[in-house]
Amino acid sequence: MKAIVNVALKKGVLDDQGKATHHALDTLGFKEVVADVRIGKQIILELNCDSKDSAREEAVKMCEKLLANTVIEDYEIEILG
């Protein structure tokens, strides 16, 4: 079973990389279309779990313990069968 984990800075924590990229997109002619840019990272986990529920449960534990720093980051988990 596969879990896709997306980690990014929380709303309210200034994302300097996102801001710089947004600025670059503006100068490349996308000023009218781009409202916001946020940069995060994706972690792809191959899990030995029997069900989607247990895969999600394990992935949440991993995020809380290591994969995200919840002081500044939020995470989202998608489980693929």
Residues forming contacts to other proteins in the complex (CB under 8 A) are 9, 13-14, 16-17, 20, 66-67, 69, 71-72
Provide the CA 70 distance to its chain's centre, in angstroms: 12
Measured from the CB atom, is 12 or 81 closer to other proteins?
12
Measured from the CB atom, is 27 or 50 closer to other proteins?
27
- In the complex, minimum distance from the CB of residue 40 to other proteins, in angstroms, rounded to a whole number: 12
Q: Cβ neighbours of residue 43 under 8 Å, at least 6 residues apart?
A: 4, 5, 6, 7, 67
- In the complex, minimum distance from the CB of residue 50 to other proteins, in angstroms, rounded to a whole number: 27
